[in-house]
Amino acid sequence: MKYSLTALAVTLTLAACNAQSATIEASEQAKALAKQTIIVDGHIDVPYRVNEKWVDVTEATEDGDFDYPRAIEGGLNAPFMSVYVPASMDNSPQSTQLAHMLIDSVEAIVARAPDKFAIARTVSDVREHFKQGLISLPMGMENGSPIQGDMANLHHFYERGIRYITLAHSQSNHISDSSYDLRRQWNGLSPFGKKLVAEMNNIGMLIDISHVSDDAFYQVIELTKAPVIASHSSLRKFTPGFERNMNDDMVKKLGENGGVIMINFGSGFVTKEARQWRAGMSQARNQIIKTEGADSPKLENFEATYREQNPYPYSTLSEVLDHIDHVVNLIGIDHVGIGSDYDGVGDSLPEGLKDVSDFPNLVQGLMDRDYSESDIKKILSGNILRVWSEVEDYASKSKS
């Protein structure tokens, strides 16, 4: 469907107004439940954030979406730290070096504040840290590029604490095709990628199918002997044509596998209006380049000007809940979790879920939709901890 820029601007402005009016306020009951429950977030980009511009997240910070005081306020106590390596570094020594540096940065957070944080390598660690009042920092690698086609690297990163690998990111790599990349050099997984799936099963490493192409997803499901995760993906039903999200058939296959989809909060993952806004901005920029050239002064501060004239259509907490509802309706309560993408999606977070202090708002929204306390706990952590435990158990049995 095509829109004129004027019509698109009106549509997006209305969406932004609707978002502002749909905020959910957390009750004391919701705040208490958030703090009394382990909350696992499948994907937070703190390591790359502090690598680009160092801040001490053990204390309050002025920007970003995560720091210790806000995590305590929101009840977040087991965020997976994303060890993100850009796709441009695929299969290079630089990718491996950066991954190690980002792991170092997570270890440094714990070293600065061992009374606040601890590295979590197992489900038992997460539960024990919760009892001790510590925030667990399990780690996942976003983009398998640092493996460099060498299983020894996989084992080394496991020893360093990496507990899931997102097989690809924004480009096809030596492991898998990417949902964002029109090049499908492997038509799914590479020969090495297929071997990697088996070895990840064997050592107890969670397989993350966020970012991979549809073909790669189905091949992973066919090959894996343990449940898999989508650490930060939402549903294509609400964002038609956006392959980065999962369609209903994929969600059903994930359910049959026993896995869990962890819902991404970024507005562009939640609503088609946010995706259309991004497309409209690109169209407007390209039109200026076409008519006035790449040196046009209108391109200076273009995005800020465009945002002022066309307010970004932030999604709402209610629309995030729609994604959770849809998963539950398709495959049941046991297969959905949270993968916010905090510190990774920039200024695109929904009203009511602007940073990690807002998890009680999510709990309140679930309560308002008549989810039971036991079901809310499954969404907050029970489902992902169950999958992680099953992956640990499979590896333990394969070694015996």
The pTM (predicted TM-score) of the whole model is: 0.92
Beta-carbon contacts of 357 under 8 Å, excluding residues fewer than 6 positions away, are: 70, 71, 73, 74
What is the residue-level pLDDT of the chain in tens, covering all 400 positions?
A: 333 333 344 344 444 444 444 578 999 999 999 999 999 999 999 999 999 999 999 999 999 999 999 999 999 999 999 999 999 998 789 999 999 999 999 999 999 999 999 999 999 999 999 999 999 999 999 999 999 999 999 999 999 999 999 999 999 999 999 999 998 999 999 999 999 999 999 999 999 999 999 999 999 999 999 999 999 999 999 999 999 999 999 999 999 999 999 999 999 999 999 999 988 999 999 999 999 999 999 999 999 999 999 999 999 999 999 999 999 999 999 999 999 999 999 999 999 999 999 999 999 999 999 999 999 999 999 999 999 999 999 999 988 7
Domain 25-268+327-358+375-399 has CATH 3.20.20.140: yes
User: Can you give the pLDDT at residue 7?
Assistant: 38
Q: Which two tokens stand for residue 334?
A: 């046991």
Q: Which two tokens stand for residue 118?
A: 């601890």
Q: Where are the domains of the chain?
A: 25-268+327-358+375-399
